[in-house]
Each structure stands twice: as C-alpha cells, then as structure tokens.
C-alpha cells in the first residue's frame, strides 16, 4: 500500500463514528474531497456518496454543485493543499467539526460570492495555545530597519528565521502565520517556508506563496496562512522563514506565529 492510500486509510478509518457523533444520518450522501481509492471511505464507514479522485480548481468547482449536504476532507489535505488550491471552500461550506484526522463541512444553502473568510474564523478555532511575535524573539535574519517596526528584504535571500521543536508525543502542530506585507509590483516570488527535519533529514517542507496583487501593491495588506506540521517518531526541528529567491523589494511588519 503506497503512502497516499495508507494515509487515506488512517485518516478515514474512524469516519463512521466521526459522522455519527456529529449527527449525520446514514441516509445522507457524503462528498469525500481527498479520495485516492474511490470506495475506501465508504467501505470503512458504510455511508455512501461521491468521491473526488482528480483534484484541481475546475473539478472541485464542479463538485460544489453535486447533490449532497455534507463533505469530509482529511485535516492534513485541507491545510496542505485544498485551501491553497480552492480558497473559495469557505464560501461554499460551514465547518461543523474538526479533529486530528478529519474536517466535516456542511454545504450552505445559498452560495454568496465575495471575499474569502478568515480561515481561523471559518474553522472556529479556539484561542491560540501560544503566540510568538517574531520581532520580539531571538531570530536569525531579522532584516528590520533601525528603530522601526518595518522589515525589508532586498538583496537578502532569507529573512525572519524562527526555529522551534515538535515532540514525538504531539500528533501534529497547527500553526497560523500572519502579519502584513507590501511589494512594489503586482507579483512577488517571495515565499513563506516551513522546513522540518528529523535528525538532520528533511521530513516535511512547505513553501507558501503570497498573493498576486492587482490593485493593492505598494501598500500594506494583511495575510493569514495555516500549516499543519506532522509529528514523527522522534523529536523534529522546524524552521520558519521568508525566502526571497529573486532578491526583490519586500516589506513586512507585525509578523507572528500562533500555535493551536
């Protein structure tokens, strides 16, 4: 069994109890967003419905109009890919429940186009267990202007590097990266990077792009990004940093990390 199928089995093996605990009737059709084996989640749960095998913006958009009330997605896939691939997910659904393996969504009766909601509000997250205000921490590559709350990347490749560890007892660590940024053009190649190692070997890496700006470039805008970092059999070392591959002008302030 390859990793994708093994992960789906692990995440969905308790689907039946998860749905039942949240009041989902056995007669309801369920939409499984991150399916690798078409029938696995249904065989494991004795529910029925739709499974999405090919996932891109178009196929997910089309699936929004199928006849179902509830959708499920693995927590890992939601944070790792789905929200970046299809941020409108927050406009089509309300979040009913989330645990370490799965997220249950209920489709709205009326889809309303508009700004994408804050993901933290959508998921009804409790207060963060811990908040790190990056300017106040002992960081590498801080790149702040003297006597200023504003940071700046220009000829630097890296900025605002913060390091922490995840113990093997933690099933996963959910972090929220937020702050404000400003660029001088409509597009930026700067990335927010999460690099995780276990005994010096890379085990998890995610590079998050900043949005291309059509009207708001050259002024500060707020951003919010979530990352789900899996734990391992041993303690893991995590580095979070800004990466500026083209050494462009990039300004930032009020950067922080919330741990959930």
Whether residues 229 and 170 fall in one domain: yes
Q: What is the residue-wise DSSP string for 156-173? A: -SEEEEEEEEE-TT-SEE
Whether residues 116 and 75 fall in one domain: yes
Whether residues 73 and 169 fall in one domain: no
Q: Which domain holds residue 174?
A: 130-259
The CATH code of the domain that includes 200 is 2.60.120.1310
pLDDT of residue 237: 92
User: Strand, coil or helix: what is 197?
Assistant: strand
Which residues on adjacent β-strands are paired with residue 176?
226, 258
Whether residues 135 and 232 fall in one domain: yes
Burial class (CB in 10 A: 0-12, 13-18, 19+), 240: buried
Residue 72 near residue 24 (C-beta atoms within 8 A)? no
Could you say which of 81, 96, 122 is where a domain stops? Answer: 122
Per-residue pLDDT of the chain (260 residues; tens, 9 = 90+): 556 677 778 889 899 999 999 999 999 999 999 988 778 888 889 899 999 988 999 999 999 999 999 999 999 899 888 988 898 898 899 999 998 889 999 999 876 555 555 788 888 888 888 899 988 887 888 888 887 889 999 989 999 999 998 887 776 789 999 999 999 888 899 999 999 998 889 888 999 998 766 666 778 999 988 998 877 778 889 999 999 999 999 999 999 999 98
Total count of domains within the chain: 2
Q: How far is CA 203 from the centre of its chain?
A: 17
Give the integer Cα–Cα distance in Å for 19 and 97. 9
Could you say which of 73, 100, 122 is where a domain stops? Answer: 122
Give the integer Cα–Cα distance in Å for 160 and 217. 21
pLDDT of residue 127: 85
pLDDT of residue 215: 61
Instruction: Quote the tokens at residue 4.
Output: 């994708």
Whether residues 110 and 145 fall in one domain: no
Whether residues 220 and 197 fall in one domain: yes
């Amino acid at each position: 069994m390859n990793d994708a199928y093994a992960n789906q089995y692990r995440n969905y093996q308790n689907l039946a109890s998860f749905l039942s605990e949240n009041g989902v009737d056995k007669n309801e059709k369920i939409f499984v967003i991150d399916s690798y084996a078409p029938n696995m989640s249904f065989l494991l749960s004795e529910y029925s419905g739709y499974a999405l095998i090919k996932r891109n913006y178009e196929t997910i958009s089309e699936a929004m109009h199928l006849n179902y009330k509830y959708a499920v997605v693995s927590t890992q896939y939601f944070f790792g890919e789905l929200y970046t691939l299809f941020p409108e997910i927050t406009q089509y659904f309300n979040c009913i429940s989330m645990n370490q393996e799965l997220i249950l969504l209920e489709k709205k009766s009326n889809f309303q186009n508009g700004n994408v909601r804050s993901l933290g509000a959508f998921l009804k997250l409790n207060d963060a267990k811990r908040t790190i205000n990056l300017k106040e921490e002992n960081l590498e590559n801080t790149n702040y202007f003297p006597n200023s709350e504003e940071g700046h990347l220009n000829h630097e490749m890296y900025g605002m590097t913060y390091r922490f560890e995840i113990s093997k007892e933690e099933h996963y660590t959910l972090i929220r990266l937020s702050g404000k940024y400003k660029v001088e053009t409509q597009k930026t190649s700067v990335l927010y990077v999460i690099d995780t190692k276990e005994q010096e070997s890379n085990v998890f890496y995610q590079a998050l792009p900043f949005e291309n700006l059509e009207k708001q470039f050259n002024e500060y805008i707020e951003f919010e990004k979530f990352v789900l970092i899996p734990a391992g059999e041993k303690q893991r070392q995590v580095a979070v940093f800004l990466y500026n591959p083209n050494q462009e002008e990039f300004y930032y302030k009020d950067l922080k990390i919330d741990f959930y």
